[in-house]
Amino acid sequence: MKHRGRHRRRRQGRALRAVLAGTALSLTAAATLISASQAEVADGPGALRALGSPAARGELRLTGHAVPAAWLDRLSAAMGRPATAQAVLGSAGRQLRDAADCGAGERAALPVAPAATRAYCWDEADVRGWRPGAVTTSAGAGADGRWGGHRVVVSAWTSEDGGGADDGRAPEPGPGTGATGGEHAGGTGTGRADGGGGGTGADDAGRALSRVAFVDADAPGRPRHVSALLVVPVDGGRDYRGLASPVSGMTWYRDKLLVTAGAGDRAALYVYDLDRLLRAGIGGDAVGRVPGGWSAHGYQYVLPAVAAYRPAAGGPRPAALSLDRTTTPDSLVAAERVPSDAARPARLWRYALREGPAPAGPLAADRAGHVDAVEAYETRATGIGGVLAHRPAGSARGAWYLSHTAGAPGGRAALGRLTGEGAEVVECGADRSRHCWSADARSLAHREDTGEVWSQSGRMLFALPLSSLDASLH
């Protein structure tokens, strides 16, 4: 039996590699057509320029605010003991489909170059009415990079009709409407991401919602997943409301999940404690306390915010986040999203992460709760959707990787590596097009233990080695 299982996995692996190779060839041809009809950016994003002035660095300051412990304890006491990681992953009942089982239209969202080595698609019923957001992994959860004994990928989604995209991008057309089934069946409406409102079990048909799906990446054939609704405690912890903001950036560090907030929210980042995942036992579209218990828009779990970081007056809001474990201490890197017609550069910066616990979140702060950037740059790259910073072992300095729209609205994104000396970009096709990345510039998440970079585009969740990205740069 063991031999048959091993041979079956080998055949499946060969089939997947063949599918992805064929997809890459067809996408390369498509990229050539795209670049022939769209203007290339002649000079690229150029070298990074350090931000040294105290005033410029001061605009990057965040201030942490913890949700009162009494609120969180009251909510937990009312909803029951938090679910363990093993229980959450054990309850995962939905599956992703391997790329070989995905349609050509779905695989068209994959990068042209470098080619994905692992790729999966979400069932339409599981993401209908939702648009994809950021991705992170359990690589930063602990020394072994596992959560509940498993390597986990977290995928964020925002309700499609919930008031537009506060990260600077236009809302995407949905994958379809009208069918039922999947992990959750139900509509969403439109609303403001203003941080206002309460719970009281109201149907959230007039408000944006965000959720995260926990994907067990240790099962490579058809990974299982389960979702939790992101919520914010209100009324002293007697209720909660949905997070009314898109999640364009997200990072997992130790037991905390940091997510970005849209421009209409007073916070720039929210902090979630993965040891406080709570069960919601009542179905339906309501969010919060309802007769007989608690509801999470039809999902099994809620994840309540434990803290938030507010930006400085007039300061940028992070649109992309990632964890860098090649620094001492570990650090959170961030990027803002500037549209292609903006008359100013975009900023990239870094916050140090603290080692021990902190009530207002994992960012290193002074006694007043202020968090200051320890490194900052400007770049000409526009429409940044993903950011990574990485310093190879033995290297004196690191580099910043960006996925960005590169001035090609409606086309593919570009992917590049930037330093203070210059920039290199991925090229593909006979005409060396720079529009080689996925169909949209989304977040990037690096797993140090496997060397993979994870991202998602459309209904595709995919990974590829960082080494293949470096090998594709010109």
The answer on pLDDT for 1 being more than 80 is no
Do the domain assignments include residue 51? yes
User: 350 vs 220, 378, 423, CA distance in Å?
Assistant: 33, 12, 19
How does pLDDT run across 240-280, given as a tens digit for each residue?
Answer: 999 999 999 999 999 999 999 988 899 999 999 999 999 99
Handedness of CA 265, 266, 267, 270 (dihedral sign): negative
Do the domain assignments include residue 1? no
**pLDDT at residue 52, rounded to an integer:** 86
**pLDDT at residue 429, rounded to an integer:** 86
The answer on pLDDT for 409 being more than 70 is no
User: 24 vs 97, 109, 441, 462, CA distance in Å?
Assistant: 19, 11, 18, 13
Give the mean pLDDT of 183-192: 33
Do the domain assignments include residue 373? yes
**What is the strand order of the sheet 384-390 is part of?**
384-390, 399-404, 414-418, 423-425
Beta 293-296 vs 375-379: how paired, if at all? unpaired
Do the domain assignments include residue 3? no
**pLDDT at residue 185, rounded to an integer:** 33
Helix (H/G/I), strand (E/B), else coil: 172: coil
Q: What percent of the chain has a predicted confidence (pLDDT) above 70?
A: 80
Q: Which amino acid makes up residue 447? A: R
**pLDDT at residue 69, rounded to an integer:** 95
Q: What is the model's pTM? A: 0.85
Helix (H/G/I), strand (E/B), else coil: 258: strand
C-alpha–C-alpha distance, residues 17 and 119, integer Å:
10
In this structure, of 98-107, 132-141, 170-179, the range with the lowest mean pLDDT score is: 170-179
Both tokens assigned to 284:
């339906």
Give the mean pLDDT of 334-346: 91
Q: What is the largest CA-CA distance in the chain?
A: 66
**DSSP secondary structure, 276-336, as one string:** G-EE--B-SSBEEEETTEEEETT-SEEEEEEEEEEEPTT----SEEEEE-SSSS-EEEEE-
The helix (run of H) or strand (run of E) holding residue 240 is strand 239-242
Do the domain assignments include residue 4? no
The answer on pLDDT for 337 being more than 60 is yes
Is residue 52 within 8 Å of residue 411, measured between CB atoms? no
**pLDDT at residue 197, rounded to an integer:** 44
How does pLDDT run across 417-464, given as a tens digit for each residue?
Answer: 999 999 999 999 888 888 899 988 789 999 999 999 999 999 999 999
Do the domain assignments include residue 59? yes
Do the domain assignments include residue 260? yes
The answer on pLDDT for 198 being more than 60 is no
Confidence of residue 312 (pLDDT cuts 50, 70, 90): very high
- Looking at the structure of the chain, the number of domains it has is 1
**pLDDT at residue 340, rounded to an integer:** 82
Both tokens assigned to 10:
């080998």
Do the domain assignments include residue 5? no
Helix (H/G/I), strand (E/B), else coil: 206: coil
The answer on pLDDT for 41 being more than 50 is no
What DSSP character marks residue 366? -
Is residue 105 within 8 Å of residue 439, measured between CB atoms? no
**pLDDT at residue 179, rounded to an integer:** 31
| Mean pLDDT, the chain, integer | 84
User: What is the extent of the structural domain holding 275?
Assistant: 11-471
C-alpha–C-alpha distance, residues 182 and 68, integer Å:
36
C-alpha–C-alpha distance, residues 124 and 175, integer Å:
7
